């Protein structure tokens, strides 16, 4: 057992570096990688991951919220950091203070940022998101040209980038991606016709970066692929992705359940015959989905042990009847590889009725991250 930890996550920084280098080879030297490290790098740890991807070929980082960017700056990260949530006027002083690259979507936010930049003498680079079909944040395409001209009239700001986000890049049918891409290209053409050239255009998340070379432009914004998870189960990535996270625990009790005896809250599992059970200290308080009650499985001695009964806040019970040599102290792998066995985030997500993005991002802070390897 890792000293002091009952359950822990191991993050292989070497895998993240390898995935980043693979992405860089794929997009080529002329395309920048804006590594997405929002949500604590999808649960992997924003600061160590940021340092790793920057050493492995990324040139910029992206987060969703201002506080995430501030935390990276406080950790000494100096690379450009794009904040993708639309800047709120009251956030302007912190954005300028920490040298972040905000996304602008309203005149009020632009004016507030411009005022702070002028007052401090710190010219601030900004990006603009265009909503080409995602239906979330961003300007409508018809408003983009006027907004861009307004920004160019603010000498405290530098209009550095324009971007959009695809709604269906992970799906098999590419038609809506192509529709969004055309809309984005129309916006860029209208900007250029009005005398505005955008230095940094970026539209491609992991799925689009791996699948649509026409969507690369000057930069791509990979996230999930950097962590070794497939952006889609409908098509194969063009190069191998190496999963970076393994979640480990230990068996802390083994006992025999007699016929008619039950496991956990609600007695949702009742033994029909004598069965051997094991207790593992991970639960929904650690981020293990409660929807895996009577659905999930873990690895013990390289073999699968199914979850029996409801997932509790702090622990699960698994059946080891078919693993007769299971003992207290045995290592348990919740996510990752053990011997010949493997449980990937994609499989856990399928059992839980969710997506693999959620599996790693929901692992709670009380599960310590242990870092291995590096660039």
Tokens matching residue 287: 């981020």
Measured between alpha carbons, how far is 265 from 158 in angstroms, rounded to an integer? Answer: 58
Number of neighbours of residue 288 by Cβ within 10 angstroms: 32
Instruction: Looking at 89-160, list the stretches that DSSP marks H as alpha helix, in order from N- to C-terminal side.
Output: 92-97, 107-120, 144-152
> φ and ψ at 184, to 5 degrees?
-65, -45
Measured between alpha carbons, how far is 357 from 170 in angstroms, rounded to an integer? Answer: 13
Transcribe 180-247 into DSSP letters. Answer: HHHHHHHHHHHHHHTT---SEEE---HHHHHH-GGG-TTEE---GGGGT--S-SSS--SS-----EEE
Catalytic residue among 24, 38, 42, 284: 38
163 is catalytic: no
DSSP 273: S
- Secondary structure element (H or E) that encloses residue 41, with its range: helix 38-42
Transcribe 152-187 into DSSP letters. Answer: HT-TTEEEEEEE---SSTTSS--HHHHHHHHHHHHH
DSSP 322: T
Measured between alpha carbons, how far is 36 from 46 in angstroms, rounded to an integer? Answer: 9
3-state DSSP assignment of residue 83: strand
265 is catalytic: yes
Catalytic residue among 24, 55, 227, 265: 265
Measured between alpha carbons, how far is 254 from 319 in angstroms, rounded to an integer? Answer: 9
Measured between alpha carbons, how far is 194 from 303 in angstroms, rounded to an integer? Answer: 63
Tokens matching residue 265: 């809250």
Active-site positions?
A: 38, 265
């Amino acid at each position: 057992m890792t000293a002091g930890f009952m359950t822990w996550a191991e993050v292989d920084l070497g895998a993240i570096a390898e995935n980043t280098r693979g992405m860089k080879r794929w997009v080529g030297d002329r395309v920048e990688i804006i590594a997405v490290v929002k949500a604590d790098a999808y649960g992997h740890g924003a600061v160590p991951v940021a340092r790793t991807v920057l050493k492995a070929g990324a040139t910029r980082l992206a987060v969703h919220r201002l506080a995430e960017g501030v935390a990276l700056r406080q950790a000494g990260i100096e690379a450009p950091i794009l904040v993708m949530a639309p800047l709120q006027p009251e956030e302007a002083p912190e954005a300028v203070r920490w040298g972040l690259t905000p996304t602008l979507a309203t005149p009020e936010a632009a004016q507030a940022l411009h005022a702070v930049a002028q007052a401090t003498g710190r010219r601030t680079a900004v990006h603009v998101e265009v909503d080409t079909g995602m239906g979330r944040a961003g300007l409508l395409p018809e408003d983009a040209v006027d907004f861009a001209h307004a920004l160019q009239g603010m000498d405290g700001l530098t209009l550095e980038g324009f971007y959009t986000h695809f709604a269906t890049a992970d799906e098999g049918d590419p038609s809506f991606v192509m529709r969004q891409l055309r809309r984005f290209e129309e916006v860029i053409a209208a900007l250029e016709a009005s005398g505005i050239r955008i230095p940094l255009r970026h539209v491609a998340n992991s799925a689009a970066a791996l699948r649509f070379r026409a969507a690369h432009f000057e930069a791509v914004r990979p996230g999930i692929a950097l962590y070794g998870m497939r952006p889609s189960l409908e098509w194969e990535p063009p190069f191998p992705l190496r999963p970076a996270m393994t979640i480990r625990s230990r068996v802390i009790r083994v006992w025999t359940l007699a016929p008619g005896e039950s496991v956990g809250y609600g007695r949702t599992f009742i033994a029909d015959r004598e069965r051997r059970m094991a207790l593992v200290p991970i639960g929904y308080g650690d981020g293990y989905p409660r929807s895996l009650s009577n659905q999930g499985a873990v690895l013990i001695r390289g073999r699968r042990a199914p979850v029996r009964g409801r997932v509790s806040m702090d622990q699960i019970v698994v059946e080891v009847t078919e693993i007769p040599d299971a003992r207290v102290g045995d290592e348990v792998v919740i996510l990752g590889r053990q011997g010949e066995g493997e449980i990937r985030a994609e499989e856990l997500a399928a059992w839980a009725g969710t997506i693999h993005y959620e599996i790693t991002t929901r692992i709670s802070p009380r599960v310590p991250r242990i870092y291995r390897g590096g660039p």
